[in-house]
Amino acid sequence: MWWQDAVVYQIYPRSFQDSDGDGVGDLRGITQRLDHLAYLGVDALWLSPIYPSPLADFGYDVSDYTGIDPQFGTMGDFDELVAAAHERGLRVLLDLVPCHTSIEHPWFREHPDRYIWSPVDGPPNNWVSAFGGPGVESRRGERPLVPALVLSRAAGPRTGATRKSSRRCRTSSASGSGRGVDGFRLDAIDRLVKDEQLRDDPPASRPFPLPLDPEAARLEMRYSGNRPEAIEALRALREAAGDALLVGELYRPVGEYERWLEVLDLVFAFEFLFSPWDAERLRAAIEPAAELRRAAWVMSNHDFDRLATRVGPENLRAAAVLLLTLPGTAFVYQGDELGLANGPGHEPPFDRAGRDRLRHPMQWDAHGGFTSGTPWLPLVDPEARNVADERADPGSLLNLYRSLIELRRELGAGFRLLDAEPGVVAFERDRHTVAVNTTAEPRPAPEGEPVLATHEGEGLPPHAALIVRN
Ligand code: BGC
Ligand code: MG
């Protein structure tokens, strides 16, 4: 399978490249910048949603699953982007959002029966939405921002709607209507099916390993989502998608991934994403995810703090080594290869959940290079870090990403975590040993011929990572 050791680059379309001066990134802009992905050597790109949307949740509130939002361009622009990506050997993943729609989706008016409504005036149960607040809306209540779908009732039996849209987007069919998409990231997939009887979620009996809204953390998601029926429903999507890559955004403990991997190819390793930069904690997150062989390594995305902010700039080089030498598929969020940190966001906020600061535009040169107009969010620090300067500097973080992506092709299939010095994560990949020093003190280097080092100096300097060959 092409994706098994692939590096997937996440593009946040509003913030990658603007081609028409309106300050918002667009599809033509992405096509113009594909050389950056080719330079890095990644295998695929994932586009966060590009469908028509009133932007109550910045594109994750979809009002038409089969269209392109005019701000992003046209279907012709999309076809050109896919063709240009394929020409460079880059696969294309779309974001599929099957658990809720925008209130502006025609179904919301024409088929209210396809949504979950409270039978009483007010919330019918204790469900908590991902952003806090009640999880089910009363028909007479306020209008929900992104109403949840009852999947079994949406456009025919089982997952009719999403099945059709995934089929339409996929490989060219005889009719020529396919669009050549190579896979999908499945949004919030643990919420695909909810209990028909709207039963209360029970109180949580143990702490949840991932950050949650405090209200949600008090409950165990047993009825509001995480249903075994979801896996059955996904079989239909699996069938329609054929061999297209399906990667699930499953916000659950890694111990639960296995059953979802019956129908999905990959699931994001969220415990790894949230692990503090501490060797013990990292090992604890890596071990079970690596055992599955199909966890997608990821350290940041458009929802959570940027990598530079989370691990600190001093650890960015070592974090790049870790992310790109673990066995299996890795996801890189645009800008992380430059060391971009969280930005100031916007006042008043655009995003209801405070995520503007993770979504500032790409910095292509010292002036920005993102748009000829006024960017929808300001650029953070283009003079300090940008693609042009980092390309020219052999010692830059960008060029470290590039070297690692090249080197990872030489790492074998094997993987074994090693007992290491305190504060060091070390593992073998067949003939290579990787050692990552998470501390501010020097540590001894692993034995072998150095192949790649993040820092100069003897041993394993503070915050450094080293790859040796045995
Ligand atoms: C997406 C978020 C979105 C949420 C609701 C996710 O997990 O990544 O950006 O707000 O789903 O669709
Ligand atoms: Mg634009």
Marked catalytic residue, from 57, 77, 137, 249: 249
CB-based pocket (< 6 A), ligand 1: 57, 60, 97, 187-188, 249, 302-303
Average pLDDT, 10 consecutive residues per value, the chain (470 residues): 97 98 98 98 98 95 96 98 98 96 93 87 89 73 65 48 60 53 96 93 96 95 95 94 96 96 98 98 98 96 98 98 98 98 97 96 98 98 98 98 98 96 98 98 97 96 97
The set of residues, in sequence order, having a beta carbon less than 8 Å from that of 168 and lying 6+ positions away, is: 66, 177, 178, 179
Strand partners, 45: 9, 92
Residue with tokens 């046209």: 74
CA distances from residue 291 to 269, 307, 417 in whole angstroms, order as listed: 12, 24, 11
Cα of 300 vs centre of ligand 1, distance in Å, is 14
Residue with tokens 């460079």: 88
> Mind listing the domains of the chain with CATH numbers?
7-98+154-413 (3.20.20.80)
Marked catalytic residue, from 18, 77, 187, 351: 187
The torsion angles phi and psi of 314, rounded to 5 degrees, stand at -70, -20
State the pLDDT at residue 122: 84
Is 381 assigned a catalytic role? Answer: no
With the most atoms of ligand 1 within 8 angstroms of its CB, the residue from 57, 100, 103, 357 to mutate is 57
Q: Give the count of beta carbons closer than 10 Å to the beta carbon of residue 71.
A: 21
Is 215 assigned a catalytic role? Answer: no
State the pLDDT at residue 146: 74
Cα of 441 vs centre of ligand 1, distance in Å, is 38
Quick: pLDDT tens for 33-46: 999 999 999 999 99
State the pLDDT at residue 123: 87
Atom of ligand 1 nearest to the CA of 57: 10
Closest C-alpha among 4, 7, 36, 30 to residue 17: 30
What does the block give as tokens for 94? 């779309």
What does the block give as tokens for 286? 């890596």
Q: Starting from the CA of residue 370, give the closest ligand.
A: 2
Quick: pLDDT tens for 56-105: 999 999 999 999 999 999 999 999 999 999 999 999 999 999 999 999 99
State the pLDDT at residue 156: 42
Distance CA 300, CA 323 (A): 11
Atom of ligand 1 nearest to the CA of 97: 12
Q: Starting from the CA of residue 49, give the closest ligand.
A: 1
Atom of ligand 1 nearest to the CA of 355: 9
Nearest CA to ligand 1 atom 5: 60
